[in-house]
């Protein structure tokens, strides 16, 4: 009996209480049914040891992976909307970079994390272009690509102009694959850049 108690305690400390895990999954299921009409599945329940809480990894029927967790007050929240925006931006920017440079690129997108967007949008998440003005200060696009050794400024300018035209406002970082080229542009400065010369102040020294 003592061994069982010790084993249960060890498991609870390292992976969370099994009883609380089951209850959390049930709460997540209820929450998702309430918030969304789309089909979804709970892929896994992970335990955040540092913050002593469970996090659900969920996949929508369209293949969007997102998280569900409890906030400080015990209220459920998720990042489905921001996951949709990240997917939208990553797909579009990746295609544009390949069109401009002729090569595949690594595109990392970050859009505001956990929040109450589900209460606003539910399943009807608008295009990022519709909300970019509100979210641009919390969003970033990092492009690590195979830019031309001689025409990289023109390539970056073309990509930057396209991002502005699409209203995909976010802080924008360009890096070459060997990181010899490194530019970082704040979201609020995107529209100020009209020529390749305008890019130079945003060049960073990457030692």
Comparing 195 with 11, the larger pLDDT belongs to 195
Backbone torsion region of residue 52, taken as left when φ is above 0, otherwise alpha when ψ lies between -120 and 50, otherwise beta:
left
pLDDT score of 177: 79
pLDDT band per the 50, 70, 90 thresholds, residue 3: very low
In tens, the pLDDT along 130-157 reads 999 888 988 999 999 999 989 999 999 9
> Rounded mean pLDDT of the chain?
89
Spatial contact of 76 and 70, defined as CB atoms under 8 Å apart = yes
pTM: 0.86
Under 8 Å between Cβ of 58 and 66: yes
**pLDDT attached to residue 1:** 58
- What is the pLDDT, as a whole number, of residue 153? 96
Of residues 114, 111, 61, the one with CA closest to residue 88: 111
Region class of 81: left (phi > 0), else alpha (psi between -120 and 50), else beta:
alpha
Q: Taking the domains of the chain in order of start, what are their residue ranges?
A: 2-78, 81-202
What percentage of the chain exceeds 70 in pLDDT?
89
Q: How confident is the model at residue 5, as a pLDDT?
A: 46
What is the Cα–Cα distance from 176 to 123, expressed in whole angstroms?
37
């Amino acid at each position: 009996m003592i061994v069982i108690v010790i084993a249960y305690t060890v498991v609870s400390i390292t992976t969370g209480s099994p009883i609380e895990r089951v209850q959390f999954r049930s709460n997540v299921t209820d929450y998702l049914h309430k918030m969304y009409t789309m089909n979804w599945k709970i892929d896994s329940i992970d335990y955040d040891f540092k913050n002593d809480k469970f996090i659900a990894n969920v996949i929508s029927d369209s293949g969007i992976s997102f998280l569900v967790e409890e906030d400080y007050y015990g209220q459920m929240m998720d990042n489905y909307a921001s996951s949709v925006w990240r997917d939208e931006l990553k797909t579009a920017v990746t295609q544009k970079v390949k069109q401009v440079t002729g090569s595949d690129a690594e595109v990392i997108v970050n859009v505001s994390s956990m929040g109450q967007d589900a209460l606003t949008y539910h399943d009807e998440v608008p295009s990022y272009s519709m909300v970019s003005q509100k979210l641009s200060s919390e969003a970033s696009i990092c492009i690590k690509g195979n830019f031309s050794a001689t025409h990289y400024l023109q390539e970056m300018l073309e990509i930057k102009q396209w991002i502005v035209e699409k209203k995909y406002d976010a802080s924008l970082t360009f890096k070459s694959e060997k990181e010899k080229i490194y530019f970082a542009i704040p979201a609020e400065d995107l529209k100020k850049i009209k020529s390749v010369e305008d890019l130079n102040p945003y060049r960073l020294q990457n030692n």
